[in-house]
Amino acid sequence: MANQSGLAEFLLMGFSDDPVVQIIHFVMFFFIYLTAIMGNALLAITVALNCSLHTPMYFFLVNLSLSDICFISTTIPKSLATSLTDNKVITFAECVAQVFSIFTLAGSDLALLTTMAYDCYVAICHPLRYSLILNWDTCMQMAAASWLTSMIHALLETVIVFQWKFCRSYRIDQFFCDVPQLQKISCTDTSTSQTLIFVTAITISLLCCGIIFVSYGYIFSAVLKIQSIQGRYKAFSTCIPHLIVFSLFLGTALFSYMRPKGPSSHIVDLLSAVFYTVLPPLLNPIIYSFRNKNMKEAMWKIGTTIVYFLSLKIK
């Protein structure tokens, strides 16, 4: 096992070795996974089948849903298999693929949430010029840029991480290949790499936060000028959930990656990872769809149509 990593495979220690805890973990994560997949898939299908939802806002929302489906599928299936079979082994290649995928999809989520904040700003502050500013060519370019920059950033970060040699241990105290945990078992001096990751993460985070906070500064200023209480409520009910999702996602991710790499609680490590890898894909369809009147009406129409055709088929 003397390759450049020092190890051919790792062990994902997960939540516990207790069979009862493993069963509970499997049931909970399986339910969460199904709910997230179904919610995001339903959102994407609803937008695709309803012409009235073919607008920039829902276009970015579909991109976010597709990203979330891939994001949660990167970590949970392997964790479910580990709990069910008690086989904790993950190969070096699988670990590389997980790290690259997590960086790519987390980056795309962050970029798309930032783009959606800009979309909200244009819709509220420049409603008459909305279709000119966010035409379909611009939307396609913004979405493509979100995915492409995320992949480039993920490739750079993955190359940096897997230049390390892992010879201290093969046990990863997490349910997926998490970079902070890989750093703990590395026998390489990771101070330079950590600085690069830190600088990159802070730069990207500050850029996204700057765009979002400036956008929402203008949004709140415009909303407060609305005379109708109902109009204010509608605008705030659209904006506040987006800020909550963004803050939860970015805050927990930064907590996991930026805190000092000393001895830490295993439970805290696990929970912080769950907050930024599992909760956003689960909550996004709930916040952005089921709170949206147009989306609920479209979903209801699709649901009743499916039930109607199924009843005809049974007859």
Helix axes 92-125, 56-85, angle to 10 degrees: 150
Nearest CA to 288 out of 19, 44, 98 is that of 44
DSSP character for 10?
E
Per DSSP, the three-state class of 27 is helix
pLDDT digits (tens, 9 = 90+) for 68-89: 999 999 999 998 988 888 788 8
Residues recorded for the chain: 315
- Domains in the chain, please, with CATH? 9-314 (1.20.1070.10)
CA distances from 46 to 20, 68, 272, 310 (A): 39, 16, 32, 18
Residues 298, 90: Cα–Cα separation, whole Å: 42
Q: Greatest CA span in the chain, whole angstroms?
A: 70
Please identify every stretch of the chain with a pLDDT value under 50, giving residue numbers as ranges: 1-6
Cα→Cα distances 242→175, 205, 212, Å = 28, 16, 10
The model's pLDDT over 252-302, given as tens digits with 9 standing for 90+, comes to 777 766 665 555 567 777 887 888 888 888 888 887 766 667 777 777 777
Identity of residue 266: H
Neighbours of 222 (CB within 10 A): 15
| DSSP-assigned letter for residue 1 | -
- pLDDT at site 4: 44
20 Cβ contact partners less than 8 Å away, ≥ 6 residues apart: none
**Three-point CA angle 144, 176, 289, nearest 5°:** 50
List phi, psi (to 5°) of 9. Answer: -155, 165
Q: What is the pLDDT of residue 261?
A: 57
